[in-house]
């Protein structure tokens, strides 16, 4: 995945697949890009290749809020892309590694896949990190030649935090939980696993929402409480639209 590909796509969503001016190889690059857009929940499927409600929203936000768009994209990729999900769940914050190390770890978890398949999948993930803003979120920080670490992302937006909270709840089929649940050692989802955001910073975002005019959720954070209750009538996409004044 390449950040420039998304620039072109969002600048021409109505004609992107019809005029063939995207500049991608129709067999080697375009199918992979479409698959990536589907995993990011921007397109519906490979046959129709239509924008989802989220895709339309992100397209409208991209010029003015590109960082937010990439935060949302990583949340969805790390849920729907097998290799991105594996990386989110298996690689701890602060861990130092090489690309070869990651290949070996993936091979241990997927022994039936061929070494070539694993090498290509890991290579594609690393290219996504290097060639898009996702890597700059701390997910792939070069320490020295061919050695990297995974660092926490300190600038996660309030909008992406709330989107992540709603996605976490949707995936679990719940509408209420505790902030501390996101930091449980057995938990594999949510904003901490996605970005490494601290409990203090999440609670700062939640407090600002409690005092805001848009009642997206209710957060009980005093007297040692850390309860979050979400609205029954809102989805993750709808909350994002409200917080970005698109609804």
Q: How many domains does the chain have?
A: 1
Place of tokens 């989220």: 54
Within a domain: 166: yes
The residue range of the domain holding 217 is 158-243
The predicted-structure confidence for 38-50, as pLDDT tens digits, reads as follows 999 999 999 999 9
Cα gap 139→205, rounded to integer Å: 22
Within a domain: 187: yes
CATH number for position 194: 1.10.10
Q: Specify the pLDDT at position 212.
A: 61
Cα gap 2→176, rounded to integer Å: 37
Within a domain: 87: no
Within a domain: 191: yes
Within a domain: 209: yes
Confidence of residue 213 (pLDDT cuts 50, 70, 90): low
Within a domain: 192: yes
Cα gap 147→239, rounded to integer Å: 38
Within a domain: 128: no
pLDDT for residue 138 is more than 80: yes
Phi, psi for 238 (deg, rounded to 5): -65, -40
pTM value is 0.96
Q: Specify the pLDDT at position 23.
A: 85
Within a domain: 223: yes
């Amino acid at each position: 995945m390449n950040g420039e590909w998304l620039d072109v796509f969002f600048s021409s969503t109505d004609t992107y697949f019809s005029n063939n001016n995207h500049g991608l190889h129709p067999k080697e690059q375009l199918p992979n890009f479409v698959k990536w857009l589907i995993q990011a929940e921007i397109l519906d499927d490979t046959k129709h290749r239509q924008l989802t409600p989220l895709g339309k929203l992100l397209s409208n936000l991209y010029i003015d809020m590109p960082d937010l768009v990439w935060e949302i994209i990583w949340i969805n990729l790390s849920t729907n892309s097998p290799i991105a999900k594996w990386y989110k769940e298996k690689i701890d914050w602060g861990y130092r590694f090489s690309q070869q190390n990651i290949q070996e770890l993936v091979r241990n978890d997927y022994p039936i896949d061929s070494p070539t398949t694993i090498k290509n999948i890991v290579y594609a993930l690393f290219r996504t990190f290097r060639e898009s803003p996702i890597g700059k979120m701390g997910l792939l920080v070069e320490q020295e030649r061919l050695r990297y670490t995974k660092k926490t992302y300190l600038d996660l937006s309030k909008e992406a935090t709330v989107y992540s909270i709603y996605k976490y709840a949707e995936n679990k089929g719940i509408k209420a939980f505790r902030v501390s649940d996101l930091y449980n050692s057995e938990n594999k989802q949510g904003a901490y696993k996605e970005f490494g955001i601290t409990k203090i910073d999440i609670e700062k975002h939640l407090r600002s929402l409690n005092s805001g005019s848009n009642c997206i959720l209710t957060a009980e954070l005093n007297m040692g409480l850390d309860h979050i209750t979400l609205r029954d009538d809102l989805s993750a996409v709808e909350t994002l639209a409200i917080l970005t004044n698109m609804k």
